[in-house]
Structure 1
Amino acid sequence: MRSVSLIFALISFSFLIAQEGTNMKKTVTPPELVRVAFEKEYPGKTPVWYEEYVGDDNDEIRYEAKYNVNTTTNALAIYDNLGNMKAYELQIPFNQLPQKAQVYLKKNYQSKSIKEIAVVVDDKNKTTYEVGVEKDSRFYDVIFDANGGFNVSLEKN
């Protein structure tokens, strides 16, 4: 009986560790400054808010507002704790990528491996395109500059 209890405890502990490693974000209620900034920029939109810690020491907080632009398009607005927008990400179809990016993706990835595509504008008004692809059972963000030039491919956990 003792060994059964020990095995159960180990399995339960393993399950908890596995869940912690999935990087699931918890929904939150943002500070009023952040909420008001979002409502001013996107009136009538209903976001789901998430919190993320960023920076070299995870000492900066970001609030992510995920919402539907329409029935087929999603967006993400990211704010700091003072309500300053840090980035905006909009889901787009493949044909809205710059031509250079389309050519690169067609050459290097099968179309079914492309899982998500977004245009991202940061707080310095710099535009990039992020394409989520799956290759060899791994997920990557392939990032292009505003002209569609390949920048980098980052593996995501």
Structure 2
Amino acid sequence: MRRVSLIFALFSFSFLMAQEGTNIKKTVIPPELVRVAFEKEYPGKIPVWSEEYVGDDNDEIRYEAKYNVDNTIKALAIYDNSGNMKAYELQIPLSKLPVKAQTYLKKNYPAKAIKEIAVVVDDKNQTTYEVGVEKDSKFYDLIFDKNGGFDVSIEKN
């Protein structure tokens, strides 16, 4: 009976680890179409590539290229499997957020709660702002529209 319990526990642990592994981004080498598209858009930049499965059934692959714009600014370019850019995210300082978003943050969060700020432009040329904040030991992405209006808060794990 003890052996059966041990085997069951190991099987359960393996299953849980496999489930967790589906959400972990791993470093990868993207297809040539994706690499060429990145190199054409950002010549001389050295990316760290990862992949993420998206879509309703996690059936679409996105390749994410993280790189340094300079010594202090980071960026992220996201591509589909064919080398089409799906989104671009650029780290920005608080002062570059629209005033409306700055006002919302100052009213609702202490300055130390703000961990990261980025402007995001998607493949439809829609601009949003994402602000990572920590509150009550949880991490949230706050999404603001192009004018700084608050849109949604997404809890991150």
TM-score (structure 2 length as normaliser): 0.88
- Unaligned 5+ runs, structure 1: none
2:38: which partner in 1? 38
Q: Helix, strand or coil for the counterpart of 1:105? A: helix
Give structure 2 stretches of 5+ with no counterpart: none
2:48 is aligned to: 48
How big is each residue's C-alpha offset from its partner over 1:49-87, in whole Å with a ceiling of 9 and x where there is no partner?
Answer: 001100000011100000000000000000000000000
Q: How many residues align?
A: 154
Q: Distance in 2 between matches of 1:17 and 1:130?
A: 31
Amino acid at match of 1:96: K
Alignment of 1:83 onto 2:83: yes
Change (3 A) 1:84 1:100: same
4+ runs deviating over 4 angstroms: 13-20
What percent identity do the matched residue pairs reach? 76
Deviation digits for residues 81-128 of structure 1 (CA, Å, limit 9, x no counterpart): 000000000000000000000000000001000000000000000000
Deviation per CA, 1:113-157, whole angstroms, max 9, x where unpaired?
A: 000000000000000000000000110000000000000111111
Q: Flag the 1:15–1:107 CA change in 2: closer, same or farther, 3 A.
A: farther
TM-score under structure 1 length normalisation: 0.88
* Residue 130 (structure 2) pairs with residue 130 (structure 1): yes
CA distance in 2 between partners of 1:24 and 1:53 (Å): 10
Distance in 1 between the 2:129 and 2:99 partners? 12
Moved more, 20-29 or 84-93: 20-29
- Aligned residue for 2:118, secondary structure, equals strand
Alignment partner, residue 20 of structure 2: 21
Shift of 1:20: 6.2
Output the amino acid matched with 1:153.
S
Compute the RMSD of aligned alpha carbons: 2.2
Q: Match of 1:95, as an amino acid?
A: S
Kindly tell me: are residues 18 and 109 of structure 1, through their superposed partners in 2, closer, same or farther at Cα, counting changes over 3 Å? farther
Aligned-pair CA distance for 1:21: 3.5
**How far 1:25 sits from its partner (Å)?**
1.2
